[in-house]
Amino acid sequence: MSDNIAPPPEEHVLDATGHMHVTDAPIDLSRYTLEAWISFAFFWVLATDIFYQFFTRYALNDSAAWTEEIARYLLISTVFIAIAASVRTDRHIHVDFFYRLLPAPVCRVLSTLVDLIRIAFFAYAVYLTWAMMQKMGNYRMTIVDLPMNSVYAVCMIGFAFSAVRAVQVLIINWRRGYSVLERPEIAIEGQV
């Protein structure tokens, strides 16, 4: 971390009379985007499904067969929507070793190229998912009589959100003149 960051102020838990006094930091939910909330909702539906599966299997001794299949698809939905939230905060795994060795102009070009490749990847993933949905046609899930394309549609929406967020990250990186690859300390300092 940088030397110019001041240590946090000392918090006194006990007041002059010996009573405990602790205040919570204000909660700010505005930093969470639509895709983060959708992923959060999928997660809690998944948790409810798993609890129902556990309850029917161990408490009622009569397992609901459909819960495993639905849990699988809910987990897929949670992950593919959450990818976009991760792209937005630029928190994917980065390898920045060569950025320490190369000159700054070369790093800037490489960083922009990485941003463009990320956008192309997510856009191509949207196209591939759409093509898969077209080939699947009216294919149904194994146990639950729902269209399998609904799962692929959620994946496609996640890729589309990710492509949009990748464009936003490219614009932010271009305007500020550097990316997390060039200056990884900004991710540690929480400036991303």
pLDDT > 70 in the chain, percent = 89
**Residue 5 — very low, low, confident or very high, per pLDDT cuts 50/70/90?**
low
H helical segments located in the chain? 34-54, 66-88, 97-101, 104-136, 149-176, 185-188
Residue that wins the pLDDT comparison between 24 and 129: 129
Tell me what pLDDT residue 11 has: 60
* Dihedral (Cα; 130, 131, 135, 136), 10-degree rounding: -30
Distant-in-sequence, close-in-space partners of 184: CB < 8 Å, separation ≥ 6: 94, 96
> Which residues sit opposite 140 in a β-bridge?
147
pTM (predicted TM-score) = 0.78
Tell me what pLDDT residue 55 has: 92
128-179 pLDDT, tens digit per residue, is 999 999 998 888 888 888 888 889 999 999 999 999 999 999 999 899 888 8
Cα–Cα distance, 16 to 12 (Å, whole number): 10
